[in-house]
């Protein structure tokens, strides 16, 4: 199929108001899940999928996010002198080569579609690209975007990550109108952004991983504001279907955590903490004690 996907857009301009007061001074994307910032999980997933160029759509107050991916010569020298080779290796994963990252400012919070549109000049007219929302952290044996790239290589078109949600929760998502369900892949008639529970066309919700045909950027150029007065990415993807091009939903293998919410962040902390060999025994014992105490208190 066409060109390889080597660029990814990371929309990180949000204010993170649900995590105030923490986000008064630090970007939400560098809040830590166990010992790694949310953005590091997204970057690692992108690298595993073959992404070579990283485009961050930022806003004011995100300087710490930009600094995170820079080299830290004093820290590295200090660790080297003290023989902390393991920590030096950990730091290597956070460093980006010069020119691998571009930062674009989104001056007005006009939605996800607008954030992606802000990156248009860095993506060529015949180049598919990925979009990763760092709030959606996915625990998976094969990273989610890598699963999608492998499917995309066979199918082309545009592709969105999808998962089943209870009907009552559908109004919080973009929801797929399924044409043909082929198991892990579904072909799509349309997409509805934040439908009323009784109007959702399916229970397959779109979550924060996309592989998009370059025409989606043209569609964003033409869009007026949609649901909630924002420029919706789902509308631009739906326009692909209207023009006869393929859009697929991909049921990924893995567990998604909504780290844009406090409850989701706490759930992810427990899951990722228990997945760490050096933490799991002590942490699991503690959780068992807490559950026993809670039951006793009731």
pLDDT at 277: 92
Least confident of 44-48, 87-91, 229-233, 289-293: 229-233
Q: Please, what is the angle between helix 262-274 and helix 277-297, to 10°?
A: 130
pLDDT tens sequence across 114-154: 899 888 889 988 899 999 999 999 999 999 999 999 999 99
Residue 44 is predicted with a pLDDT of 92
Question: In this structure, what is the dihedral angle of CA atoms 245, 138, 149, 222, given to the nearest 10 degrees?
Answer: 30
Phi-psi region of 34 (alpha: psi -120 to 50; beta: other; left: phi over 0): left
Classify domain 7-279 at the CATH superfamily level.
Answer: Spore Coat Polysaccharide Biosynthesis Protein SpsA; Chain A (3.90.550.10)
Q: Average pLDDT, whole number, for the chain?
A: 87
Q: Is 106 helix (H, G, I), strand (E, B) or coil?
A: coil
CA distance 120 to 272: 35
Q: Where are the domains of the chain?
A: 7-279
Could you give the CA distance from residue 19 to residue 22 in angstroms, rounded to a whole number? Answer: 6
The reported pTM is 0.89
What is the rounded CA–CA span in Å between residue 163 and residue 254? 10
Q: State residue 192's pLDDT score.
A: 82
Residue 87 pLDDT greater than 70, yes or no: yes
Residue-wise pLDDT for 237-280, tens only, equals 888 888 888 899 999 999 999 999 999 999 999 999 999 999 99
Euclidean distance between CA atoms 283 and 276, whole angstroms: 10
* Whole-number Cα distances in Å, 261 to 114, 153, 223, 227: 22, 33, 29, 21
Residue 131: which H helix or E strand, with range? strand 129-132
Residue whose C-alpha is closest to residue 103's, from 118, 91, 125? 118
């Amino acid at each position: 199929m066409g060109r390889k996907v080597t660029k990814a857009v990371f929309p990180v301009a949000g204010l993170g108001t649900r995590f105030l007061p923490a986000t008064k001074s630090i970007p939400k994307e560098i809040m830590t899940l166990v010992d790694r910032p949310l953005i590091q999980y997204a970057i690692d997933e992108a690298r595993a999928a073959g992404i070579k160029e990283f485009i961050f759509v930022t806003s004011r107050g995100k300087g710490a996010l930009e600094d995170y991916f820079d080299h830290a010569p004093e820290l590295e020298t200090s660790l080297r002198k003290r023989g902390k080779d393991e920590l030096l290796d950990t730091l290597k994963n956070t460093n980006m080569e010069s020119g691998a990252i571009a930062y674009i400012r989104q001056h007005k919070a006009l939605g996800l579609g607008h954030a992606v549109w802000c990156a248009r000049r860095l993506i060529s007219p015949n180049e598919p690209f990925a979009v990763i929302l760092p709030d959606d952290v996915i625990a998976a044996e094969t990273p989610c975007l890598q699963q999608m790239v492998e499917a995309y290589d066979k199918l082309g078109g545009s592709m969105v990550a999808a998962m089943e949600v209870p009907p009552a929760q559908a109004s919080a998502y973009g929801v797929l109108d399924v044409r043909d369900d082929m198991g892990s892949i579904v072909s799509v008639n349309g997409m509805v952004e934040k439908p009323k529970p009784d109007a959702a066309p399916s229970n397959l919700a779109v979550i924060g991983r996309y592989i998009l045909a370059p025409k989606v950027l043209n569609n964003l150029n033409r869009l007026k504001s949609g649901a909630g007065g924002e420029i919706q990415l789902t509308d631009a993807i739906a326009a692909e279907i209207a023009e006869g091009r393929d859009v697929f939903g991909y049921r990924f293998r893995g567990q998604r955590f909504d780290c844009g919410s406090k409850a989701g962040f706490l759930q992810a902390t427990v899951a990722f903490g228990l997945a760490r060999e050096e933490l799991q025994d002590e942490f699991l014992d503690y959780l068992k004690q807490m559950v026993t105490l809670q039951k006793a208190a009731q």
